[in-house]
Amino acid sequence: MRITALDTVCLSRMHEPERQWITAQYRTVKADCAVVRVHTEEGLVGIGEASAYGVPPRIAEWVDWLAPTLIGKDAADPATPPHPNGRDRAHDAAVAGIDCALWDLRGKMAGKRVSELLGASPADSVPMYASSGCRYDWRDRPEQLIEEAVGYADQGFPVMKFRIGTDWAWDGVTVDRFLGLVRELHQAVAGKMKLALDGNCRLTLDEALPIAMELDRLEFAWLEEPIPWSDIDGYATLAAAVDMPVTGGESFTTLEQFRPYIEKRAYDIVQPDAGVCGLTELVRIAELAAHHGLKLYPHSWHNGLMAMAHAHAVAALPNLEILEVCQIQGPLQWDIAAEPPVMDNGQLHLPDSPGLGIELADEVAGRYPYIEGHYALTVDR
């Protein structure tokens, strides 16, 4: 079966004002989505979501540029184009989207779920964690974080991941004030749901150490990217200081970028994103991590097709345990799917259909046309 064409469906949806959210100094005002399609002469189409952080129209340009290297090839055995030397978010995301679409296509050609291509006895459902906690504002009702968390606990999520909020400098937030909110949050959900914190690389090592110690005492599930990602030794210091796992790597595109973090034990859990690195590379990273006794919790933001790529990996690979599902993407997240998967009690059930298990909804491009402009605005206070 020959590949005949590649294209990219670019989608957007503006958030209603009350659904916009600020972390650090950035107000996110719209949801974006880029779905790469690989077409074949028999009419089978593979689809894969590329990280929208690559900016959908730029991703589409790279997919067009890469298409001639795939057109005419046998769909059963095409090589994914390599990641560029030196990072280019749009180029990397295009490579990743193509790779995920090729996995979907190979599943459809074989009449198997992608999870069955990845592992010998994949699970039929995977636990999900609620990823959000980025709506609270230190200036106005930071306790919104706690109300939101209680809602996820009531829905049966085993874990919620939250962020450190609006720019601490705006409101004189200190480590002590932050930990005060963390302790209240922990008390509100203790015994019902575990917590994890994502620092989004915003803390210094001096701030991160006491935070890590306290989260360890509160039995947090993990601490993600507390300090700038390039500080490998800082990560190794943190990881050695606490029993709680220290995690990271969501922006890395290749195994080689993970290798020093794995070998220096800078991360206890690695977090590649198939929308950034591709599913093929994610599997290689999982294998190296397993060799070192480490787990992999995929980073999975944005929309449902990306969540599905990660769900198949979690279902199939031995050192993957839980699926991140963004809770604040709005209707675009699952409206892209003709039939979204069943999700209940903190579990996502893999559809019993070949490939990644979802198809693009009819007319989705007409309902959610791409809206030019950056998804986030810089806020000045």
Binding site for Mg ion (CB under 5 A): 198, 224, 250
Give me the least distance between CB of 198 and Mg ion, in Å please. 4
Q: With respect to Mg ion, which residue has the nearer C-beta, 92 or 224?
A: 224
- Cβ atoms of 275 and 51 within 8 Å: the answer is yes
Give the dihedral sign, CA 250/252/256/257. Answer: negative
Rounded to whole angstroms, the Cα distance separating 73 from 365 reads 28
Phi, psi (rounded to 5 degrees) for 88:
-135, 110
Residue 262 CB, shortest distance to Mg ion, in Å, is 18
Q: How far is the CB of 248 from Mg ion (least distance, A)?
A: 8
Long-range contacts of range 185-192, CB-CB < 8 Å, 24 or more positions apart? 185/145, 185/146, 185/149, 186/218, 188/146, 188/149, 188/150, 189/149, 189/150, 189/153, 189/160, 192/153
Phi–psi pair at 221, nearest 5 degrees: -70, -40
Nearer of residues 178 and 252 to Mg ion, judged by Cβ: 252
Q: In the complex with Mg ion, which residue's Cβ is closer, 38 or 326?
A: 326
Question: Of the candidates 53, 198, 43, which has an alpha carbon nearest to the alpha carbon of residue 134?
Answer: 198
The residue with its CB nearest to Mg ion is 198
Specify whether the CB–CB gap between 314 and 119 falls below 8 A: no
Rounded distance between C-alpha atoms, residue 111 and residue 105, angstroms: 10
DSSP 173-208: --HHHHHHHHHHHHHHHTTT-EEEEE-TT-S-HHHH
- Closest CB to Mg ion among 272 and 354? 272
Nearer of residues 32 and 250 to Mg ion, judged by Cβ: 250
- Pairing verdict, β 159-163 and 3-14: unpaired
Best CA proximity match to 239, nearest among 251, 231, 247, 230: 247
Nearer to Mg ion, 63 or 269 (CB): 269
* DSSP-assigned letter for residue 370: -
- Tell me whether residue 276 or residue 337 sits nearer to Mg ion (CB atom): 276
Q: Which is nearer to Mg ion, 80 or 333 (CB)?
A: 333
- Smallest separation (angstroms) from Mg ion to the CB of 38: 29
Residue 95 beta carbon to Mg ion: minimum distance, rounded to whole angstroms = 21
Task: Give which of 113, 103, 76 is closest to 1, Cα–Cα.
Answer: 76
| Least distance (Å) between residue 194 CB and Mg ion | 17
CB of 204 to Mg ion, least distance (A): 18
The least CB distance from residue 369 to Mg ion, in Å, is 29
For Mg ion, which is the closer residue by CB, 80 or 166? 166
Q: Minimal distance in Å, beta carbon 70 to Mg ion?
A: 31
Our CB check for Mg ion shows the closer of 251 and 347 to be 251
Q: Please give the DSSP secondary-structure letter assigned to residue 355.
A: B
Phi-psi region of 103 (alpha: psi -120 to 50; beta: other; left: phi over 0): alpha
Q: Nearest distance from residue 158's CB to Mg ion, in Å? A: 18
DSSP codes, 134-177: ---BTTB-TTHHHHHHHHHHHHT-SEEEEE--B-HHHHT--HHH
Q: Give the residue from 42, 48, 53, 40 showing the smallest Cα distance to 8.
A: 48
